[in-house]
Each structure stands twice: as C-alpha cells, then as structure tokens.
Structure 1
C-alpha cells in the first residue's frame, strides 16, 4: 500500500471561529477580555484565516461565534438580540466577500423565544446561514430544557443543522422566576461553576456539552425533532463512555428514559461529530464504538486554537487516522462527509 500524502488531502472545517470587529467590541464592553478564563481574545481577520486555510489545505471553513456566545450580559434580552443580529450580519458580509472560502453558522439570542424564532428565519432566508451554533447552555438554560421546545420545533420545521458548542457551566439559582420572553423583568442570580483551579475550557467544556447532549436525548427533543441534524463537537466530549451508565441507571432506578440501544441509534443516524481538539490518541476509540467514520467531520477550532497548534493537531490527527483507515475513508472524514451534510 502506497503511503498517504496528507498534505494534498482536502479538508472542510466545520468547527472554526471568527472574532468579528463588532463582536470584539461587545466582548470588551461586557468585560469578557478573558472569556471563560482564556488568556486573551485572539486576533482574527479573514485574511489571516484564509492564509491558515491555504497552509493546511482547508478549502471551506464554516465560521461561528464561540463561547461565551452572544448572551454576554445575563438576562439582558435586548442586548443579546443586538449582539446576535450584529454578529450574524458581520459573518454574512464576510462570507459574501470571500465566497470561495467561508460559510457560517448563525448565533441565536437565546434563551429569548420570540427573538430566537425571528432570528432563525432571518439568518436562513436573508443572511444565508448554513445552520446555527448553539452553546451547551444559554445563561443556565440547557439545550433540551422544555422552555426551549418552541426553538427546537422551529429548527425542526426549517430542517436546520445545529453545531453544539461547549461553554462554562452556569446555574440559575431561581430558575422558576426567569421568563424566556424578551420582556422578562425578573433578574435571578447566575453562577458560573468551575470548582477547580483549571480554566473551564480544559475540563468544564467537556462536561457541559455532555450534559447538554444527554439532556437533548433524555428529554425526547432529538426524537421529537427528526429533521434537525446535530453536530456534537470535540469527538463527542465525554458522552461515549458515560452513555451506557446514564441509560441503564434511568431505566433501572427511575423507571424511564430510553435504553442505550436507542440512544446509540440516534447518535448514529442524527449526529455528526467534529474532530476539533485532541481526539487522538484516546477519545476517538470510545466514539468509534458507537458511530462509524461516516459520521465524523474535521474541525480545527481556529482562531481560539492558534495556527501553530492547529497545524500540530493536524499532524497528530494524520498520524492517528493513517494507522486506522484507508485513504478513501480519510478523505471522507476530512472533507466528503461535510460536503454531503452541507451540500457543498
């Protein structure tokens, strides 16, 4: 078998981020100079991103706004609406200026129901978004919460693609007093949970997205919304090794939920999994016990992952993939699966 020339393999980057000029201003104005404990807000321009793409043979990058998202001031629905619309327009304009390189996931002004419903249609019909990036929780309202059912029903109606992205764990101390309407008057307390002296992006992100996707499954949201296509980031986070425990415990101790066979079927049929971060050498094996390589897509996590590190992670991925798969399978994982998913 001839060696694989990874330098020539095309990549489609499903998990990659932009820091638009106005979004940077919003971060600074709301005191998010070190979002979720990261050292700084990274520099980003379309030209820098395109240069990185050319060096790594990424032909298309689907831009999104990373954590802390667009709800930068808790329970301030008008500001969240403004930030979401402004950054969605910015991303749309960037894609229009560089159509050969970029597409984008829109942000939603969650947890406001009316504002998010309006933004879904505007982002798809006017701005040309290919889908939506939603964080694992929106100021303490987790994906799969019944309060967000109207949003997921709308996304189902529009047959949307949803990139699930982790953020820091947040807990509302008086959740019953918070309304998901845009004119909510109450101001409950919000606590950001990180019990360790480790930046939340290193551990808590993995836990939080696992919470959200498990909640989407257990709540019945995934089953109820069969037209939504989900992308879970970071190789499924911690869901693969704990899924069996969740399903078996729910059935045996609480007399409900769905069995693990059904959960795994939903993951195989309704989810894709991006390979941003460090799926090799360990995480990938737990994920592949549940899904096949036809459900995997490439992700760089640039620009929050600096270009030198993104290139290092590509080399690690190439080494791991080359030991596991044929060149044809790797081509599908790096580009083909995403092209089919997005109709590229």
Structure 2
C-alpha cells in the first residue's frame, strides 16, 4: 500500500555544521545527530513502500544562538535552500517544510515569502522558540502571514524552555524526545487554542506530531480551566474536538501502537491521521519493526479505505499531490 511520509527529517551538511558549532552536537540530550543521505533515505522509503517524504529540520531548529537574529536568518535561509536543492535533485521522492527563524518576527515574515518561491510544501516550526510558545501574542504577525498564504504548519517538539534558559530541566538524565517532547507539544497546542490563535487564523492547517502527544486526556481539563482563568479563548471540549476534526492533522510517527492511538481516538478520528516515520532520528531498523506493528494496529481499528487515507490519501489531499 502506497505511503506518504509527512514526518521525515533531513540532516543537510550545512545545518549539521551550524549545530555542532553552536553546541547542539548532541541535541536534546541524544547521543548525536544521526547520519543522513538522500540515497539512504530513498532506500528505506523503497523498503516501506513510501512514494514521497516531506523533509523537515527537527529540533533545535535554525535559531541556534539566543538573541542573534542575523545568524538565525542566515542559517534558516541557507538551510531552506539546501532542502530545496535536495528536493530538486529528487523531485518525485522529496518535498519539504521550510524552517522559520522564530522568535524573530521580521526574519520569519521575509522567510515565508522566500520559502514559497523555493517551492516549500509548508512550514516546520518548533513548539517553542527560546521560551516563546506557539500562540504567544508576540508571534501574532507571523501567524497572520501564515493565514494569508493558507499555510500548512508542521509543529515539531523541542526541549522545554522557559524565561530562564539556565534553569535545570526536570529528570535531565533522560533525553527530551523520550518524555518532554510530548509535554512540549501539549503546551504548544493548548496555547494555540486558548490564545485564540487557531480561531483567528482559519486558513492554517496544523500538523501535530506523535499522534497528539499527551493532549487527549487533558482536553477536558484545560478547557474547563480556560473559563476560570479568563483565557482569551474559552473553548469547550466539544469545540476543541471539532477543531481537531477540521483544522488539525496528527501524524503516526513515534510509538502510537498499541496504546497511544486509543487516547487519540477519544478526541479525533481516522480521517485526520497521517503516516510518519521520524527517520533518521528513529533508526531504520526500528522503523521497519514499527511498520509491522502499525499495519496490524490499523487493521484492528479501521477499514481498508480509511487505512489508505492514513497512509497516503489524506496527505495527497492536504499537500495537493
């Protein structure tokens, strides 16, 4: 069955060099930045039946030195052009989500226009940009611009960051992707909803990583609290679930089977699921094992037509492929 991978990463040489120069050689507590080549990626795609992968830069993104907007703009521009070149050399196999130098608003506005000219399928942003979470009012102009261009916004988790960048992270002995990535996704999506950002920008399609992370069991809680704290948007849980079913998509990267998928299905349905691998940050061997688990899990839950949609149909419609 054909698959389209919407959660696939790329490690272009320039971005790797910048990460290593600025202290991100072991990003988010992981042992290293994995090796990546187009050839290795395509070989895995062929094994899995993936016709196309939408490449994106993952954590820590492209704003690598706090306070240095000029450097972030330079890294972002060079990285997006590297991705565009990789895709131009393999147009039938790769597309890409462009990076933005958030929290630099002016730089991000300029990069949106440039990325569209490069042929980006959408935009990949981290859940927080040096402590400014998606939905923060300081980023409103960027979301207004993304709304103007009817953008697809892929939100990828990164290490939690607050107002004190030197603060000790809880249970720092574990890499952030193991637990904290899920919590940071939940923070970002909750803030997008309660800030009113989602409602104010009806033309943006939001892509959430890892099957909704820890959002599902918390929807009732954060919507109930929104009225108590007079949040800008006091959505009910039913309204949030309706937004999930109309404005959001959720990928199956990570480990959604056998358990996480059931939490997701309490707040959304199969029509909003997308296939994802998280390669190369999830190793090829593990992805091949997960593929078998995913096949079995999907067949227990959905009919053939829905499974085809999850593997490729939903992505084709969303990305106009």
Q: TM-score range by the shorter chain?
A: over 0.9
How many equivalent residue pairs?
319
Unpaired segments ≥5 residues, structure 1: 1-8, 174-188
Structure 2 residue 190 is the aligned partner of structure 1 residue 214: yes
Question: Using the alignment, how far apart are the partners of 1:301 and 1:212 within structure 2?
Answer: 19
RMSD: 1.1
- Structure possessing the higher radius of gyration over alpha carbons: 1
Does the 8 Å contact 1:145/1:219 carry over to 2?
A: yes
Structure 2 residue 106 is the aligned partner of structure 1 residue 114: yes
Unpaired segments ≥5 residues, structure 2: none
Pick which of 286-295 and 42-51 moved more.
Answer: 286-295
Could you say if the C-alpha distance between residues 154 and 241 of structure 1 is closer, same or farther in structure 2, counting changes exceeding 3 Å? same
Structure 2 residue 226 is the aligned partner of structure 1 residue 254: no
Question: Using the alignment, how far apart are the partners of 2:79 and 2:301 within structure 1?
Answer: 40
Structure 2 residue 55 is the aligned partner of structure 1 residue 63: yes
Q: Which residue of 1 aligns with 2:122?
A: 131
Q: Which residue of 2 aligns with 1:18?
A: 10
Query: What is the CA deviation profile of residues 85-132 of structure 1, one whole-angstrom value per residue up to 9, with x for unaligned ones?
Result: 0110000000000001000000001111110000001101x2100100
Q: CA deviation at 1:195?
A: 3.4
Does the 8 Å contact 1:168/1:193 carry over to 2?
A: no
Alignment of 1:169-180 (within 5 A): 169-173=160-164
Stretches (4+) displaced over 3 A: 189-192
Query: What is the CA deviation profile of residues 153-200 of structure 1, one whole-angstrom value per residue up to 9, with x for unaligned ones?
Result: 000001000001000001123xxxxxxxxxxxxxxx554634342111
Could you say if the C-alpha distance between residues 33 and 255 of structure 1 is closer, same or farther in structure 2, counting changes exceeding 3 Å? closer
- Give the TM-score normalised by the residue count of structure 2: 0.97
Q: Which residue of 2 aligns with 1:103?
A: 95
Does the 8 Å contact 2:194/2:226 carry over to 1?
A: no
Q: CA deviation at 1:300?
A: 0.3
Q: Which residue of 2 aligns with 1:275?
A: 252
Question: Using the alignment, how far apart are the partners of 2:9 and 2:170 within structure 1?
Answer: 24
Query: What is the CA deviation profile of residues 3-61 of structure 1, one whole-angstrom value per residue up to 9, with x for unaligned ones?
Result: xxxxxx11100000000010111111112110001111100011110011001000000
Alignment of 1:136-175 (within 5 A): 136-173=127-164
Question: Using the alignment, how far apart are the partners of 1:191 and 1:79 within structure 2?
Answer: 24
Question: Using the alignment, how far apart are the partners of 2:276 and 2:216 within structure 1?
Answer: 19
Does the 8 Å contact 1:12/1:60 carry over to 2?
A: yes
Question: Using the alignment, how far apart are the partners of 2:148 and 2:248 within structure 1?
Answer: 17
